A = this chain, B = another copy of it.
């Protein structure tokens, strides 16, 4: 890896945090300790819906080491929303504020009625177990269908319908009806958990009587600041949020989870440091999950492969509290609209409360569910018409110059056709597909493909703002501060590459301050919506250009040259027309700037930029798998993702990102499912022993490829890549299973149990 010489984007620069992380020196939230730190543990509901008639904390309070116990009666009566969205000036666009710090009316298995603070974690746990609650059960609702029943118990005042929405190109009915072939399908996706390595954890303390500091493993420090301020009813600037290294988030940490409670506790306890950490079991019950979608779809395809139109009707199960709520169902419909933009399209979505653990943001944000339905329907229609699934997609895939059928926005870069072509060749699609024809017997092979589109941020639904500050050090190196957060995805590394490219220095001269601190870090809502590399880029570009101009202006004074004749190459000031002859190093310039008795001064630049473009990324998954029908076992022989994410900023990191997404996609397709009792609402497998997520032995060799386009709206030609790799995986696998067996399975995950049911029903397994 040619790490040291890299000078910009497009190069496989070693992660800037690689050494810190592999040596174990990187400090995560739980690695920090404070003198006198205390620990909090929740008293949680053993039922999924009900009231606490009474609570008795006497025995718990008498345990030596217990500092305080708070119940629902002790917390502020201020409802707040936890979703990690940018705040909106329009009240109607804000997230639903349906949560208090503790609740008497418990709405899901593990909901919190009280919290114990003790000198040590074990005592807190013991004391929490000794709090006695008299529970009054209420009817438990686990499905949107039940939630919407006329006589359903109200989980929140006002009813169980959270929100509904519709969008349409207007002509779907006619187009579908006019198509050669109409297909319908009913799809169901599971509740899953993020299973980030680092659990949910934060701690808070006070430095005086008004300001609260919080260290948290969060994707969204600046949003946490606001929400804690809102939840406690204090000025937002009195909350300071610090984000160290984060051990994975995947959207779970795009919610404001335990920070308001940590802040509340320290504010009640004289400012002592209080830590609130969730165990893995608590993460399952009381953090956020992926929304289970029920999708009814219709699709019309012509014999020549032209997709005439498709319509989706989505029921989204948001669980006990809104969190991101309806945004997920809505976003899924929006993001898919770029995929086949020349066809008619209608999307209706309904999000309901139930007594499941709260669902929130998770990698893909509704798109995996929607793409699972669309790409299954399209595949089924192609199968019915005897068309090659790749050909069908090629015929309908977005092309440059197409417009988003809902918004009319032009697609300037669209590499999906090239992705399909490239994948077809690399994957040897035609050969493999031919090999899979006409199989019989117990062991069968199939190939499948699926595509996706995904946007690069939240605009125009959300405000897209990002801030960057560059600061020159005494040795000429450059520090970068950004409100955007490194949570494992490699953001800091590509930021360093962007700065280096625009200023004109080796990447090794750029140091990214990875820790955000809302008191000083430029404002940015955080890591979500695959937004960061896209929306931070223009702020970096602008700040880097400003810094470069200041450098050249200083150099002009030192060198007695016109700054217009100077430029920066590889950390040296040179004459533009003699770029190989260094006139002054940045180190020499920095020493002059800091230490010349009269001229100069520290060089810095800071920019806050709002982004109002949101180009779609595209891509596809090809999969070749073998099914042992009798054993209901799927073996992936080969899997390849091909992505158009514009200019690839760092091929090595991009590959890692794709591999991670593919692994998660395989987990969602084949393994993962929170098993929730339909009657009681209790979660049966809230732990990593009983909840099966794929580990390395479960995964095949993951392959990726890129089609590089240049997105003209993007500061460095790039588009989103964080979430996309997960999106098409499940549909491709489902389509390959269908090809191998003839059985189209529309409910995820494709566990042996489900395959058995489906194969049995299809007559492949007898008896």
Q: Which A residues lie at the B interface, using CB under 8 A?
A: 17, 19-20, 23, 25-27, 31-35, 86-89, 206-211, 222, 225-226, 229, 235-237, 271, 459-460, 463, 465, 467, 469, 471, 473-475, 477, 479, 481, 511, 513, 519-520, 522-523, 591-592, 594-604, 606-610, 612
Q: Give Cα A602–Cα B523 distance, bound, in whole angstroms.
A: 7
Q: Pick the contact of A87 from B208, B523, B594 — CB < 8 Å? A: B594
B225 near A474 with CB under 8 A, answer yes
B88 near A463 with CB under 8 A, answer no
If A23-B208, A475-B236, A477-B237 touch, does A602 touch B522 (CB 8 Å cutoff)?
Answer: yes
Q: How far is the CB of A308 from chain B (nearest CB, A)?
A: 35
B237 near A602 with CB under 8 A, answer no
If A479-B237, A602-B608 touch, does A86 touch B520 (CB 8 Å cutoff)?
Answer: no
24 A/B residue pairs, CB under 8 Å, sorted by A: A17-B208, A25-B206, A25-B271, A26-B207, A27-B207, A32-B35, A33-B34, A33-B35, A87-B474, A89-B596, A211-B511, A225-B474, A226-B474, A235-B477, A236-B474, A237-B475, A237-B477, A463-B595, A471-B520, A597-B612, A599-B610, A601-B608, A601-B609, A604-B608
Contacts of A594 in B (CB 8 A): 87, 463, 465, 523
If A88-B595, A271-B25, A595-B89 touch, does A606 touch B608 (CB 8 Å cutoff)?
Answer: no
Q: Pick the contact of A602 from B34, B465, B471 — CB < 8 Å? A: B465
Contacts of A597 in B (CB 8 A): 459-460, 463, 610, 612
If A88-B595, A89-B596 touch, does A25 touch B207 (CB 8 Å cutoff)?
Answer: yes
B520 near A481 with CB under 8 A, answer yes
Among A237, A519, A606, A609, find the residue whose CB has the most chain B CB atoms closer than 10 A.
A237
Contacts of A237 in B (CB 8 A): 473-475, 477, 479, 511
A19 to chain B: closest residue by CB: B208
Question: Which 6 interchain pairs have the tightest Cβ spacing?
Answer: A601-B608, A237-B473, A602-B608, A20-B208, A19-B208, A523-B602
Q: Give Cα A249–Cα B479 distance, bound, in whole angstroms.
A: 29
B271 near A23 with CB under 8 A, answer yes
Contacts of A609 in B (CB 8 A): 601
B207 near A467 with CB under 8 A, answer no
Q: Give Cα A35–Cα B459 distance, bound, in whole angstroms.
A: 42
Q: Give Cα A665–Cα B251 distance, bound, in whole angstroms.
A: 61
Q: How far is the CB of A243 from chain B (nearest CB, A)?
A: 14
A610 near B600 with CB under 8 A, answer yes
B598 near A610 with CB under 8 A, answer yes
Contacts of A31 in B (CB 8 A): 35
Q: A237-B511, A460-B597, A523-B594 are in contact. List 12 more A-B contacts (CB 8 A).
A: A20-B207, A26-B208, A211-B511, A235-B475, A236-B474, A236-B475, A237-B473, A467-B601, A467-B602, A471-B520, A481-B520, A522-B602
Q: Give Cα A594–Cα B209 distance, bound, in whole angstroms.
A: 27
Q: Give Cα A523–Cα B471 distance, bound, in whole angstroms.
A: 9
Contacts of A475 in B (CB 8 A): 229, 235-237
B602 near A520 with CB under 8 A, answer no
B610 near A601 with CB under 8 A, answer yes
Among A208, A226, A604, A607, find the residue whose CB has the most chain B CB atoms closer than 10 A.
A208
